[in-house]
Structure 1
Amino acid sequence: MLCVFCLRVFNQPANHLPNGKWSAQVDWTISLFAVRLYDDCVSCQAIVRGLRGVDLPLGDDTTVAVRAIFFSPRTHGGCIESMPYATFTVSDAATKRRLCGTQILLEQVDEKGDAVLLRKVHGTTTGSPEALSFIKTNLQTCLGSHEACRAASAQTTWYPTRLIRVDGSHAQLVITAETPPDGPYASLSHRWGGADIIKCTQKTLPELKKGIPSSSLPATFRDALSATRFLGIGYIWIDSLCIVQDSASDWAAESKTMLGVYRHSVVNLAATCSRDSHSGLFSTRAPRGLHSGPFAASNGAVSGSFVAVEAALDADSWTAAVENAPLNARAWVLQERLLSPRVAHFAREQVLWDCPGLAAAETLPSGARAMPHLFRRGVGRKRGSNLLHVPAEPDRALGQWAAIVDAYSRCGLTFASDKVVAISGVVDHLRARSADRRFSCGLWRPRMEMQLCWLAAGPGAAERYGWLPSWSWMSVNGAVDAPRPDAFEGYVVTLFAEVRGVVEADGGGRLRLRCVTRPVGIETRPSLRLVGAGMDEFRSLALDVASPPELKGRLFFVPVFGVQEPAAVSTGRAFECRGLLLEQVDKSEGLYERRGHVFILAKSDSVSGTSQEITIA
């Protein structure tokens, strides 16, 4: 159903525009207690879900301002491309800060109250036969008719070293070289979450091969086996059961096969909303808050009986349900999502299907038919994604890699030593499709210069990993923003530095850079800034580490690249310049370490000078 506030949105007289489109706007303020109280209102519950990702203390007494706008269907070439929809934007009434947004889709129903594109769900858990049938139907359709999915899937048969065989109520670990599988396998993405769970060890391996009692498995594993059986899949790969956890050699060998493990799985079951292995793959839900049921709407532009659901595939809703979910805060999971040909996200309220041919939800099973225009945020959906493609244009390829870097750096790792290996499957995939490119600790060659100008997001990372080179974004344990060369299309980009090579070593190695080094100093008051020749138009300094150790060596600004509009090239006007703050750690060897990212407005004399070749560790 809809509450009295939200129902008013769809009965507010429409404002008609000359082009034939229309809209109607309604604003109101309401306490969060009241919003949460309307637990059977589709739009109020969509707002509640959106607020889960807000990093602010929001109590029941918080007053929010809601702006709802009901829009006419989108059209293209005179043809209607979508159904009517409403956007709900929620802000803190006191501070005016935007908190979240959501979109609601409407479809007119027939005299029986039935809709074509929007579906009502009945199951009270995401593990109901209804929810699992949604996955099974999409899997069968994908395997049978999705050209985009066939092109993206592995074309050869390959199996991991070990799999869990699912046979009726029985499960056992099999060594695939000894007992060759006779069908496809699924994979499970989950959070260990510090939970004490059953693992494959050198001691337990023989017992697991005999059989795995259901009672010994945590809820997430039991649910995953149940889903696998329902889908008619005979095997599943689960990391903690298929890698010998107390064998360094087995872990090292198996971690190198992650590309194959996920690429060849027929579907990935993602425990998206679960915080640990005991939370379960399935979750309980209240179906009444996912579908409005028929209601009357009349605003001078539309009139009749309609049903409404949340636009679960829209950027705001997808971000709340998937991108900001507990599972996707885990760094290892990023490559599991990217490499798997199909993912079934077990979100909190419903299952979401994601493959290159279709993004769909239980309430939106038709996907693009209901929502032909989908905006992307973060990793996003597979449909229309090009993150694992290697375009011919190098700048576009680096822009796609930057999106992966941004997402990966915002995820957490239990063991810092996994920073490189937890993304290695994606690297292996991209490297196999671009033989002319070389990978060095998070950066690609050639065209490595602009990639050096990553910057720490926010106040900087908590610490630097000393075993990784300072020039790599992998050396810090926090979020970074990677430069996107494709964003400068149409501008004149000038390089002031040249990468001459990387001396490979464990962890990445030392970088040889031919560049201009300009001595600078740091002032901390009234704000953090650089001083020195050419720093008159200083704009910002982003230190790599929020609280760096005392800088004992000499500091230098190294300009790396500049960007300006074509018309400004001959005018001598200042241009945007990005570069590095380096500390000299060994003068005799010409050895430096990176300390931060610098942005200035520069003129030619600010970046000119005698180039020299230096080494950055």
Structure 2
Amino acid sequence: MLDLFKSLLPKKERQWCGACLFELNPTAKSLSSDIGGRYEYAFAESDDHEFSYADLIKSSKRGCDRCKALASAFESFGAAGFEVARWEPHLNSPGSPLLEITSADGTSQVFEICSSEAPLDRPVFFADDPSPHVVLCRGYKLSRTTGDNEALDQAAKWLTECRTSHGECRVSDAEFVPNRLLYLGDSRTDSNILELVEKPAPVPYAALSHRWTKETPSKSLLTSNFLDRKQNGMPIAYLPRMMQDVVLVLRRLGIEYIWIDCLCIIQDDKDDWKREAALMASIYTNAELTVAASWCDQSDQSLFRDHSMPQEISVDVAQIDGQSIFIRRRKHHFTWLGIESSADTMAAENPDIEWPLLNRGWVYQEQLLSRRMLHFTQNELIWECFEETRCECGWYDTNTRIFGARDWYKRSPATKSWSQVIKGYAKRPLTVTTDRLPALAGIGKAIASAKDYDPAEYLCGFWEKELEETFFWYLSEPPLHPRPDMRMPTWSWASVSGDVECWQVSLEGIEFLGNDVQYSGDPLLGDVVSGMVSLSGHVASGIVYHGREWKSISESQKDASGTSSILTDSRATEDYGLQIGGQFATFNPDYKLDVPGKGFVPSGSQVLCLLFGRTTSSEWDESGESAETITTHLLLLRHVDGAPLRYERIGVNATCFELDVFMSQSERQQLTLV
């Protein structure tokens, strides 16, 4: 009877704090900002829910224990006193739930409310029963350092799971082994010597992906120390600190051999270097594991990093139904799709700081070719293989559910188009500019094998069978350097430095007539003797300007109101100009062609403008009538002295000149680009 009587009494409506969005404890006083019913009502009018630090303190004083815990956490993070905070469940946009706070100076920081028990199958927002918090995601607390037992046990677990259950990650050539390996000793020994083993029997081995520092050359394998290391080995204590740590990791994982480029290739022997560089595809493809020193870029830097400072560690804010809830800074992550697409609202992300290794030219092919990679980052260990991407903090668990896991996992290089490879690789810096093609040779070899391409059809960074999709490339940023002094034809993207993209729309009247590229060795290694491509297309004469002459022209093209009649290329810098007939436009050079030296082009020089594409756009007037405009994409070519009908490439002009106007001044012509 008592139970019946209780059931007839009106139930008290659940109250949710208007600041922290946790359920309000019964002893706390109510505020007008609190939410009745379900916490979703906080998002009834917006995709996010805002509160200030002052709101948090006010709610703490009225008795909300969760607000008090959050305020204490923000003090630990050094983020107290923020101006506005936004809970964002990301229901209508990609990304996992988060809390973004903005300070008075406009700087933003991103946090997450996490629980190891949060569901992965759907956002908690859609749960039938209210979750402990609306903006909750699956997450795990990190170990204090990336080199402690907890972190290395996790790495061992990932490796074991991959070996036993991932069919796609198994080695493709069990008989392959590099020409040299370093023997670390088995897990039962504590040897302080690395043995240099030549022509080893097929054994499981690891590879190291690392960024060379000023210290690396002094430790490298050279002709002068080769015999001594072959006979006596190399003291582990003589290695850079990072490599000593790698030895520790691999012994812990039970891998007894490792290949390290600077210690397994004789660096001052050109023949040895070329021979071993040609094996890069096989070395990384068949490695049992590639260890990536992803955050290391300084001499004597450890592979491991302690991240137990108060502003970096997780802070508990609630214990609800046995479920621990904590808040932490969101860590940066990368995906197979690319670093730039990895961290939704984290616009302040700087890959050069977070992962200096991953932006290097040589490392690009190491990433693409390796079946398994274990990344040591500033904050945690990250695992990549063909069937999983994992991290210690659990961010990938949540986000692969949201985005679709398969798009985020590693893929073989053959799954990328060559234009994607060029775009991903070209922007990455190299210490030695002549490594531009050698550092891509491993990917080239893998793609040649997968697509049955003949290496003889490799044309200075292009595949002949994909020439139409890649040949008309352009810098997607203003040039920063003069033309590099290396023997590379100007029509190759490898002849310049910077972010490169390829025109991938139908070509306009272009016909490739043939090519002739001569190498002194392996075509994929790019030791070019000469290279030319012949084609035909519509061309018109033009003049290029820069410096004072271009500034004077720019001023003369302004009317009384200051409006300029110069046509603007959206990709171009204002420092260079092109004239065709009576019209002037900006253009984007392939390099800083106004710098004296190799490739210098005097202002006022005659050029040939080759039409290779078109862009169609429409504009509507006030009456609703539309007008269609078709503009040209032009390759700018300069005549090579003493060579009839031979031209070198110097830049691109896009979406400026109307197609009909250009065609009225053009003629079809056969050209040879060198």
TM-score (norm 2): 0.71
Which of 294, 314, 318 is residue 316 of structure 2 equivalent to? Answer: 294
Q: Which residue of 1 aligns with 2:401?
A: 372
**Residues 1:71 and 2:89 aligned together:** yes
**Residues 1:389 and 2:414 aligned together:** yes
TM-score (norm 1): 0.77
Q: Cα distance, 1:408 vs. partner?
A: 2.2
Counterpart residue type for residue 330 of structure 1: R
Q: Cα distance, 1:345 vs. partner?
A: 1.0
Deviations 1:161-214 (A, max 9, x none): 10011113324334342x425x31111111221115422122322332332212
Which of 538, 541, 545 is residue 591 of structure 2 equivalent to? Answer: 545
Which of 233, 238, 254 is residue 255 of structure 2 equivalent to? Answer: 233
Q: Which residue of 2 aligns with 1:59?
A: none
SS at match of 1:187: strand
Counterpart residue type for residue 145 of structure 1: S
CA contact 1:9–1:25 (8 Å) conserved in 2: no
Which of 376, 389, 396 is residue 346 of structure 1 equivalent to? Answer: 376
Q: Indicate the larger mover: 231-240 or 594-603.
A: 594-603
CA contact 1:554–1:583 (8 Å) conserved in 2: yes
Q: Which residue of 2 aligns with 1:532?
A: 580
> What is the total number of aligned residue pairs between the two structures?
543
Q: Cα distance, 1:426 vs. partner?
A: 0.8
Q: Return the alpha-carbon distance in structure 2 between the equivalents of residues 417 and 531 of structure 1.
A: 34
**Residues 1:452 and 2:507 aligned together:** no
Change (3 A) 1:385 1:235: closer
Residues 131-530 of structure 1 mapped to structure 2, 5 A cutoff: 131-150=151-170, 153-167=171-185, 168-170=189-191, 171-177=193-199, 179-181=200-202, 183-195=203-215, 197-209=218-230, 210-286=232-308, 289=311, 292-296=314-318, 306-309=325-328, 310=330, 312-313=332-333, 315-316=342-343, 320=350, 324-364=354-394, 367-368=396-397, 371-374=400-403, 383-386=408-411, 388-390=413-415, 398=417, 401-436=418-453, 438-466=457-485, 467-476=487-496, 478-483=497-502, 485=504, 493-506=506-519, 507=528, 509-523=531-545, 524-525=550-551, 526=554, 527=574, 528-530=576-578
SS at match of 2:251: helix
CA contact 2:208–2:260 (8 Å) conserved in 1: yes
Which of 25, 28, 35 is residue 50 of structure 2 equivalent to? Answer: 25
Deviations 1:287-329 (A, max 9, x none): 755553431499xxx9986224426547127965688522123
Change (3 A) 1:497 1:484: closer
Q: Return the alpha-carbon distance in structure 1 between the equivalents of residues 433 and 673 of structure 2.
A: 22
Q: Cα distance, 1:432 vs. partner?
A: 1.4
Change (3 A) 1:589 1:547: closer
Q: Cα distance, 1:411 vs. partner?
A: 2.0
Change (3 A) 1:502 1:480: farther
Q: Cα distance, 1:557 vs. partner?
A: 1.1
Q: Which residue of 1 aligns with 2:122?
A: none
Deviations 1:350-405 (A, max 9, x none): 1111112111111218x3356413499xxxx9834557234xxxxxx54xx33332
Unpaired stretches in structure 2, ≥5 consecutive residues:
1-17, 23-32, 55-69, 119-131, 335-341, 520-527, 555-573, 621-625
Q: Which residue of 2 aligns with 1:53?
A: none
Which of 650, 655, 663 is residue 600 of structure 1 equivalent to? Answer: 655
Q: Which residue of 1 aligns with 2:140?
A: 119
Q: Cα distance, 1:66 vs. partner?
A: 6.2
Q: Return the alpha-carbon distance in structure 2 between the equivalents of residues 410 and 46 of structure 1.
A: 36
CA contact 1:453–1:560 (8 Å) conserved in 2: yes
Change (3 A) 1:336 1:282: same
Q: Cα distance, 1:556 vs. partner?
A: 1.5
CA contact 1:187–1:268 (8 Å) conserved in 2: yes
Q: Cα distance, 1:480 vs. partner?
A: 2.2
Deviations 1:465-487 (A, max 9, x none): 341111111111x31231262xx
CA contact 1:561–1:579 (8 Å) conserved in 2: yes
Q: Return the alpha-carbon distance in structure 1 between the equivalents of residues 167 and 652 of structure 2.
A: 44
Q: Indicate the larger mover: 496-505 or 260-269.
A: 496-505
Counterpart residue type for residue 580 of structure 1: L
Change (3 A) 1:117 1:600: closer
Q: Return the alpha-carbon distance in structure 1 between the equivalents of residues 488 and 71 of structure 2.
A: 50
Change (3 A) 1:573 1:273: same
Counterpart residue type for residue 481 of structure 1: V
Q: Which residue of 2 aligns with 1:558?
A: 610
Q: Cα distance, 1:131 vs. partner?
A: 1.3
**Residues 1:85 and 2:97 aligned together:** yes
Deviations 1:584-612 (A, max 9, x none): 12365211111111103432442464322
Q: Which residue of 1 aligns with 2:128?
A: none
CA contact 1:464–1:545 (8 Å) conserved in 2: yes
Q: Indicate the larger mover: 587-596 or 381-390.
A: 381-390
Q: Cα distance, 1:458 vs. partner?
A: 2.9
Change (3 A) 1:250 1:106: same
Q: Indicate the larger mover: 283-292 or 155-164.
A: 283-292
Deviations 1:105-140 (A, max 9, x none): 533769xx9x994222333x2111211111111111
Q: Return the alpha-carbon distance in structure 1 between the equivalents of residues 465 and 632 of structure 2.
A: 21
Counterpart residue type for residue 629 of structure 2: A
Deviations 1:558-602 (A, max 9, x none): 11122447999xx99322432211111236521111111110343
Deviations 1:430-469 (A, max 9, x none): 1212225733112232342452332224320312134111
User: Which gives a bigger RCO, structure 1 or 2 (Cα 8 Å, sep 6+)?
Assistant: 1
Unpaired stretches in structure 1, ≥5 consecutive residues:
1-6, 30-37, 48-62, 76-80, 391-396
Q: Return the alpha-carbon distance in structure 2 between the equivalents of residues 285 and 67 of structure 1.
A: 25
Q: Which residue of 1 aligns with 2:115?
A: 107
Q: Tell me which structure has the larger Cα radius of gyration.
A: 2
CA contact 1:563–1:575 (8 Å) conserved in 2: yes
Which of 574, 582, 596 is residue 637 of structure 2 equivalent to? Answer: 582
CA contact 1:272–1:326 (8 Å) conserved in 2: yes
Q: Return the alpha-carbon distance in structure 2 between the equivalents of residues 572 and 408 of structure 1.
A: 40
Percentage of matched positions with identical amino acids: 22
